[in-house]
């Protein structure tokens, strides 16, 4: 597989991270409440620039033997540096029509945009699309409340129409879930609200091995190291903070591998509790 794709296993389940593309976000969009000194120190430790965060869009392909599942679809063909998911899938030997289940952690454009082809039709035309019932209801409104998001108004105004248009295109393929549910054997969705009202985490389990995909509950390793840092895209920051801590504590206590959609490639790794609070993330499958 090319750079930007990496195969690994969770027990007998075959997985592959597939990078759809990337985007450079202004640092203050990802860390709007950060102490400038602590943020600068954290970025310096990682040898990262202070003005922008280069953030990948990493989808997860899950092949159980009976089912082919794709978790999130990337931003699709609309972005200049995105739209690689079909090529990544084909490199993994999977065609869009082979995917029988798409799990959408939430309906932000960089997660749901890839469900719709440049023709305006559903890309994964034979797949059911799993989405939280709360997520469906929120984005179906004419004016969803994005007032708590700490990003520019023009960014907010672009999010809702993409979500609503994608959901409308998928209206006959979406299967909404309310609460925790096993979607296919070995793959379970878990409510993880805060980033969006119906944000989902995904637990993959086989033969005693587990991988917890936290979606956008954290969008950078600094949100793990310093969990009090907010993400400017969180629609309910307080609830997002509580959810993040709950998911990270679960991953550590139950010795799960952790994946996050925007973490540096391969977006999968291990976390460990730090003596002074927070967690350390180490990349690697």
Q: Tens of pLDDT along 185-217? A: 999 999 999 999 999 999 999 999 999 999 999
Gyration radius of the chain's alpha carbons: 17
Q: Rounded to an integer, what distance in angstroms lies between the CA atom of residue 35 and that of residue 265?
A: 26
Residues 6 or more apart whose CB falls under 8 angstroms from that of 35 comprise: none
Each of the 285 residues of the chain gets a pLDDT tens digit; together they read 446 899 999 999 999 999 999 999 999 999 999 999 999 999 999 899 999 999 999 999 999 999 999 999 999 876 678 888 999 999 999 999 999 999 999 999 999 999 999 899 999 999 999 999 999 999 988 789 999 999 999 999 999 999 999 999 999 999 999 999 999 999 999 999 999 999 999 999 999 999 999 999 999 999 999 988 999 999 999 999 999 999 999 999 999 999 999 999 999 999 999 988 899 999 998
In tens, the pLDDT along 105-115 reads 999 999 999 99
> What are 176's strand-pairing partners?
131
The per-residue pLDDT for 2 is: 45
pTM of structure: 0.96
Which CB contacts under 8 angstroms, 24+ apart, belong to 188-194? 189/103, 189/130, 189/132, 191/132, 192/105, 192/217, 192/243, 192/247, 193/134, 193/236, 193/239, 193/240, 193/243, 194/234, 194/235, 194/236, 194/237, 194/238, 194/239, 194/240, 194/241, 194/242, 194/243, 194/244
Whether the CB-CB separation of 138 and 144 falls below 8 Å is answered with: yes
Question: Are 104 and 72 within 8 A, CB to CB?
Answer: yes
Please give the Cα distance from 209 to 254 (Å, whole number). 10
Q: Give me the residue label for tokens 């409308």.
A: 168
Q: For the chain, which domains are there? A: 5-283 (3.60.15.10)
Look at residue 89 in the predicted model and tell me its pLDDT.
95
């Amino acid at each position: 597989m090319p750079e930007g794709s990496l195969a690994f296993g969770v027990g007998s389940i075959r997985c592959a991270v597939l990078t759809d593309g990337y985007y450079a976000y202004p640092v203050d969009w990802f860390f709007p409440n950060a102490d400038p000194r602590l943020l600068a120190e954290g970025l310096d430790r990682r040898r990262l620039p202070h003005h922008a965060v280069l953030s990948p869009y990493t989808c997860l392909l899950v092949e159980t033997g009976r089912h082919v599942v794709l978790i999130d679809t990337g931003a699709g063909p609309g972005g200049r540096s995105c739209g690689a998911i079909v090529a990544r899938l084909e490199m993994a030997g999977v065609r869009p029509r082979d995917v029988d289940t798409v799990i959408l952690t939430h309906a932000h454009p960089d997660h749901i945009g890839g469900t719709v082809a440049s023709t305006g039709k559903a890309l994964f035309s034979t797949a059911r699309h799993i989405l939280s019932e709360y997520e469906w209801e929120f984005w179906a409104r004419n004016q969803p409340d994005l007032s708590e998001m700490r990003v520019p108004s023009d960014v907010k105004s672009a999010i809702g129409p993409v979500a609503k248009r994608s959901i409308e295109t998928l209206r006959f393929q979406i299967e909404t879930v309310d609460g925790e549910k096993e979607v296919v054997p070995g793959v379970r969705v878990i409510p993880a609200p805060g980033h969006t009202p119906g944000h989902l985490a995904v637990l993959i389990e086989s033969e005693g091995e587990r991988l917890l995909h936290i979606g956008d509950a954290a969008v950078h390793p600094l949100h793990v190291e310093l969990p009090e840092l907010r993400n400017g895209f969180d629609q309910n920051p307080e609830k997002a903070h509580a959810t993040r801590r709950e998911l990270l504590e679960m991953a550590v206590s139950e010795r799960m591998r952790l994946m996050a959609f925007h973490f540096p490639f391969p977006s999968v790794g291990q976390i460990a509790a730090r003596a002074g609070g927070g967690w350390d993330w180490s990349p690697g499958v």
